[in-house]
Amino acid sequence: MESVLEQSVAANPELFCPAVFGRAVHALSRVGDELWLDPTVKGLALRSVNSAQSAYACFIFSPLFFQQYSFMGCVPKQSSKTVKCKLLMKSLLPLFRCLTSIERNVECCQISVSASSDWVIIQFFCRHGITKTHNLRFQEKEALQAEFASHLCTNVLKAPARLLGDMVMHFPVFQEEITLSATPLRFSLRNYEESGESQVKMMYTEMSLHPEEFEYFHVDVNSEITFCLKELRGFLSFTESHCLPVLVHFDSAGKPVCFSVEDTLFEASVVLATLIESKSTDSIQPVGIQVHATSRYVDAAALRVHACEGHGETGRERITSSQGSTVSPQPDPIPPLPQTQQANKESISVNTSPASSMVCTLLFKALSSEHDDNVCAATPPVLAGYSDEEMMEEFCPKSPSL
Amino acid sequence: MKFRGKIVDVACLNHFTRVVTTISKLTKTCVLRLNPDNLFFVLSGKVANGGVSMWCELSQANFFDEYQMEGVSPENNEICLELAPENLSRALKTIQNAKSVKVKLTKKHCPCLTVCAELPTLSSISRVVTHDVPVDVIPKRLWHEFKEPSVPDYDVSIYLPPLKTIKNVVDRMKNLSNFLVIEANMNGEMNLKIETDLVSVTTYFKDLGNPPWGDGASQDGGPTQSRDPDSMAEARVDVRKLQQFLVGQQVNPSKSMCNIVHQSVLHLILLHEDVSLQYFIPAVA
């Protein structure tokens, strides 16, 4: 496996469809307050994690998504750290806040990241010759990467585009957590309230449907998992706007659940930690969740894989509030097994491995989708001709090797 | 005590939802009374509500395809429940496309009004959504608090101008003063007035018409002192209470009118084919 290129580089992708990119930013803004922008030769990755480290989202746009994707980089020797840039969501989100006006007015959008200076420069080339330039300062941070062994999950579902959104809309907007329950015969969602006095007077909602409604429904182990709804909603609004079916990988309570979508030009996923129910009492006890291993796809399983062990045995601190979080965002390179130092309810351990290479190879194994919508056509037309045709070919490879 | 109702018609479901949503905008909690013919949403005029009271009557046959109930006892064939209409409204709003909706009284973690909807799908087995709205059963000894209000001996009864128009006026007046005076006469004239140290603003409505049941002062037809048709009866009310009434209106009434008992109470009545809503706002000095 090749080592990943460091990107103390200048990458100049130009966006074919800024609105799609903007929707990804919106979805990520519902997860965390910071966005990791990670340009690599394989594509542009955007990632975010919430403060409780119970939700992680990742959007990866392949170079094909862009009209022009140029990635110039020095290739230093393998260093243990990769440098990524981290932006504040509140600096980035306002640029993409009004998607309809972006769709109407912005003809072209250019993002440049230069590690030599600390700026990310986003330029919108709008109609009537107007150019808006935004300079955002980024912080160099360790990479954010949660790894999730989806191929080890016993339960896999594939839901058609609108199904999950239609289910989730029955729950009030302020509903924080939701319990998903799956058996081979039935799939249901219900709202979750922490035990306590308020439980008595809460309105309970449950929605259930038959496995027939899914494109693919494979439940080996009956399971009930409880996770945060808010972060999922942001992801679902993105997937619905692209009419993409959603893959759900999950296991038993305590193990994370992953919702993911793929398209020829991008892929997106959100990984959510789930509550573990203690057998001794009825109340929910939080636990640090270990997430190891690598990519989602079977063919990449040859890479370093740690089994998902240690669930449920680690730090059983009881936290009364559901947002208990004193976790610092500094990830350890190798996640320690007992996470007793983390006094939060759920967490996903994050890694600074050179994992982006693995993730990037997946872009080109994307499943073909009949749901390509108009903006993400396989070969985007060039809006303005470029003189450097060779440069485009060089930096927009069809094969993953470089 | 048992209750089970089923709505299958989409227009009925929609109408019922809008009524419940209107109620939810008027008050946070209210009492639902059920008898074999009607449903009532009742808010009794306690100090906690600022003296405001509400009575909304629905004829069950106009909404439910099936309706079965067994009250507390055969002599008192009624059920009285306290609930938060907001919960019921939320439960109904998301299931507007349901094939059928069942509402039943159940006992889950506490007594609940369970709304169970079957939603259309492409597959042979429907999607099922269940909402459990928690309720409190009101014991019979308290039922007297939730009786139908008697129509007061009003001084003036007049049809209202379009609610939207009043709402616009009241919204702007609210910025200037906390109290608003509504006055009307039996000649179809109504004025909305506010007065502060700096400014007074009046909006005049004419040709509104008066309901045909005449001046209320003596309804039994006894010695009538016919009221001078031009003389105004007024009530000074808290503008926010009036605004709250206007803001929630989701259903366009076929008739809307108000009765004024001079310096005592403002009684607003909205009539639809199958729903009537009465709202009482006490006057302040």
The domain spans of chain A are 18-140, 150-275
Is A205 close to B130, i.e. CB distance below 8 A? Answer: yes
| Domain boundaries along the sequence of chain B | 2-145, 156-214+228-282
Is A207 close to B130, i.e. CB distance below 8 A? Answer: yes
Is B134 close to A201, i.e. CB distance below 8 A? Answer: yes
User: What is the least distance, in Å, from the CA of A396 to any CA of chain B?
Assistant: 42
**Coil, helix or strand at residue A205:** strand
Is A172 close to B90, i.e. CB distance below 8 A? Answer: yes
> How many helices (DSSP H) and strands (DSSP E) are in chain A?
7, 23
Closest CA to B173 of B88, B237, B259: B237
Is A205 close to B91, i.e. CB distance below 8 A? Answer: yes
Distance of alpha carbon B265 from alpha carbon B271, whole angstroms: 19
Distance of alpha carbon A335 from alpha carbon A290, whole angstroms: 7
A 10 A CB-CB count for A73 gives: 16
User: What is the least distance, in Å, from the CA of B134 to any CA of chain A?
Assistant: 6
Supply the Cα-derived Rg of chain B in whole angstroms: 21
Closest CA to A64 of A134, A16, A31: A16
Q: How many beta-carbon pairs under 8 angstroms link A with B?
A: 55
**Coil, helix or strand at residue A19:** helix
Stretch 161-180 of chain B: residues touching chain A, C-beta under 8 Å: none
| Tokens representing residue A357 in the block | 């290479």
| Tokens representing residue A209 in the block | 């449907």
CATH 3.40.50.150 fits A18-140, yes or no: no
| Tokens representing residue A95 in the block | 């640029």
Judge whether A206 is closer than 8 Å to chain B, CB to CB.
Answer: yes
Q: What is the ipTM of this complex?
A: 0.82
Residues near B162 by beta carbon (within 8 Å), at least 6 away in sequence: none
CA A221 to chain centre: 25
Measured between beta carbons, the chain A residues lying within 8 angstroms of B90 are 172, 203
Q: Which residue has the tokens 């003189």?
A: A387
Tell me A381's DSSP state.
P
Is B91 close to A172, i.e. CB distance below 8 A? Answer: no
Is A204 close to B132, i.e. CB distance below 8 A? Answer: yes
Judge whether A128 is closer than 8 Å to chain B, CB to CB.
Answer: no
Judge whether B95 is closer than 8 Å to chain A, CB to CB.
Answer: yes
* Structure confidence at residue A199 (pLDDT): 56
Q: Do B161 and B190 touch, CB atoms closer than 8 A? A: yes
User: What is the least distance, in Å, from the CA of A240 to any CA of chain B?
Assistant: 18
Q: Which helix (H) or strand (E) holds B15?
A: helix B10-26
| Tokens representing residue A349 in the block | 């351990």
| Tokens representing residue A12 in the block | 């100049």
Is A207 close to B128, i.e. CB distance below 8 A? Answer: yes
Equal fold, A18-140 vs A150-275 = yes
Q: What is the dihedral angle through the alpha carbons of A293, A295, A298, A301, rounded to the nearest 10 degrees?
A: -40
* Structure confidence at residue A148 (pLDDT): 76
A 10 A CB-CB count for B69 gives: 19
Q: Do A113 and A39 touch, CB atoms closer than 8 A? A: yes
Is A212 close to B125, i.e. CB distance below 8 A? Answer: yes
Question: In degrees, to the nearest 5, what angle opens at C-alpha B146 toward C-alphas B143 and B151?
Answer: 135
User: What is the least distance, in Å, from the CA of A213 to any CA of chain B?
Assistant: 6
Distance of alpha carbon A159 from alpha carbon A260, whole angstroms: 10
Probe site for chain B from A179, A207, A212, A214 (most B CB atoms < 10 A): A207
Equal fold, B2-145 vs B156-214+228-282 = yes
| Cross-strand partners of B175 | none
pTM: 0.73
CATH 3.70.10.10 fits B156-214+228-282, yes or no: yes
Out of 3.70.10.10, 3.40.960.10, 3.20.20.140, 3.10.20.30, the CATH code matching A150-275 is 3.70.10.10
Distance set, CA B136 to CA A45, B32, B74, B84, B111 (Å): 52, 10, 21, 10, 7
Handedness of CA B21, B22, B25, B27 (dihedral sign): negative
Distance of alpha carbon B81 from alpha carbon A245, whole angstroms: 44
Residue ranges of chain B with pLDDT lower than 70?
Answer: 49, 214-226, 251
Per-residue pLDDT of chain A (402 residues; tens, 9 = 90+): 222 232 333 445 555 578 888 999 999 999 999 999 888 777 888 999 988 888 999 999 888 888 877 766 544 433 333 447 888 999 889 989 888 888 888 888 888 877 677 788 888 888 899 999 999 888 877 767 777 777 778 899 999 888 998 899 999 888 889 999 999 999 999 988 776 655 567 889 999 989 988 999 999 889 999 999 988 999 999 998 888 999 999 988 888 999 999 988 889 999 999 988 743 333 333 333 333 322 222 222 222 222 222 333 333 322 233 333 333 333 333 333 333 333 333 344 433 333 333 222 222 222 222 333 333 333 334 344 333 444 434 434 444 433
Handedness of CA B142, B144, B147, B151 (dihedral sign): negative
User: What is the least distance, in Å, from the CA of B130 to any CA of chain A?
Assistant: 5
Probe site for chain A from B94, B115, B136 (most A CB atoms < 10 A): B94
User: Which residue of chain B comes nearest to A209, CA vs CA?
Assistant: B127
Handedness of CA B14, B16, B19, B23 (dihedral sign): negative
| Tokens representing residue B241 in the block | 């209470």
Handedness of CA A7, A8, A12, A18 (dihedral sign): positive
Q: Do B260 and B221 touch, CB atoms closer than 8 A? A: no
Distance of alpha carbon A53 from alpha carbon B154, whole angstroms: 64
For the domain made up of B2-145, give the CATH fold. Proliferating Cell Nuclear Antigen (3.70.10)
* Structure confidence at residue A183 (pLDDT): 92
Judge whether A307 is closer than 8 Å to chain B, CB to CB.
Answer: no
Judge whether B125 is closer than 8 Å to chain A, CB to CB.
Answer: yes
